[in-house]
Amino acid sequence: MTHTAGMLDQIIRRTRYLLLDFDGPICDIFAGHPAPTVAEQLRQLITAQGIELPADITHSGDPIVVFTYSGTISPDLAAKVEAEMADQEVAAVPTARPAPYVHDVVISARESGRTVAVVSNNSERAVRAYLELHGLDDRIDYIAARTSSDPGLLKPHPHLLQQAITELAASPSECVLVGDQITDMQAARTTGIDSIGYANKPGKTDTLAQAGAAAVITSLAELILPLRARPLPN
């Protein structure tokens, strides 16, 4: 069920550029290659350097959190951790689970005259590998994903969104980001674009709304009819 359904329709009306986060709105990248396992591998890479980890990093199941911590130690360590994380993300692609209705959303957006891009904290290599595997590579106009070992450039920093907007020659007022994380909503707000929260798990609806989502959906299917009903003029 959509929260602020009227707002969702308003957003779609003015959207020419549909920006999709990757892990969540497009797929569950770690469905068959669990994120906690990847986080542990990254921790081992760090502790092998003789570095003692703080408790919050020791217990985190989020590879991005571990990567971000590595950046506080040294750029060299961050580069090693990022490279390993990218390898693990690529290894996860064959068992990644597509998000329900994502293909329909992409097709509906394209057929309504809109541009579709991916904006992701995941590695560009993994994003491209997944899109090619699932036949979406020729339907996505641009990918702004992780290519740097600087964790400070990842969402909630606006860098990746700004990169996509610049490369697409888009106006922020014509863009919307669909994401399932608070960091997506924060990056969108900082960039000055609309955001739609994708509450794909219980408890996310209020959290995403509080983080600044202009509308919140619980299924990508909620985007299909609005996109089809609001084709852009030629």
What proportion of the chain, given as a percentage, has pLDDT over 90?
Answer: 97
Q: Cα–Cα distances in Å, from 206 out to 178, 181, 198, 217?
A: 16, 12, 11, 11
Which residues lie closer than 8 Å to 186 by C-beta, 6 or more apart?
A: 155, 156, 211, 212
Question: CATH number, domain at 21?
Answer: 3.40.50.1000
Considering the domain architecture, whether residues 69 and 101 belong to the same structural domain is answered as no
**pLDDT (tens digit per residue) in 116-164:** 999 999 999 999 999 999 999 999 999 999 999 999 999 999 999 999 9
Domain count, the chain: 2
Considering the domain architecture, whether residues 127 and 152 belong to the same structural domain is answered as yes
Considering the domain architecture, whether residues 111 and 191 belong to the same structural domain is answered as yes
Considering the domain architecture, whether residues 90 and 45 belong to the same structural domain is answered as yes
| Domain presence at residue 24 | yes
Considering the domain architecture, whether residues 116 and 136 belong to the same structural domain is answered as yes
**Contact in structure between 176 and 116 (CB atoms under 8 Å):** no
Phi, psi for 114 (deg, rounded to 5): -95, 155
Query: Domain boundary residue among 78, 95, 112?
Result: 95
pLDDT of residue 233: 86
User: Could you tell me where the beta strands, DSSP code E, fall in the chain?
Assistant: 17-20, 27-28, 97-98, 115-123, 142-146, 175-179, 194-198, 215-217
Considering the domain architecture, whether residues 201 and 219 belong to the same structural domain is answered as yes
Considering the domain architecture, whether residues 88 and 53 belong to the same structural domain is answered as yes
CA 143 vs. chain centroid, Å, equals: 11
Range(s) of the domain holding residue 63: 35-95
| Domain presence at residue 234 | no
pTM score of the predicted model: 0.96
| Domain presence at residue 212 | yes
Q: Any idea what the Cα angle at residue 126 is, between residues 227 and 146, rounded to 5°?
A: 85
Split at pLDDT 50, 70, 90, the class of 5 is low
Query: Domain boundary residue among 95, 113, 143?
Result: 95
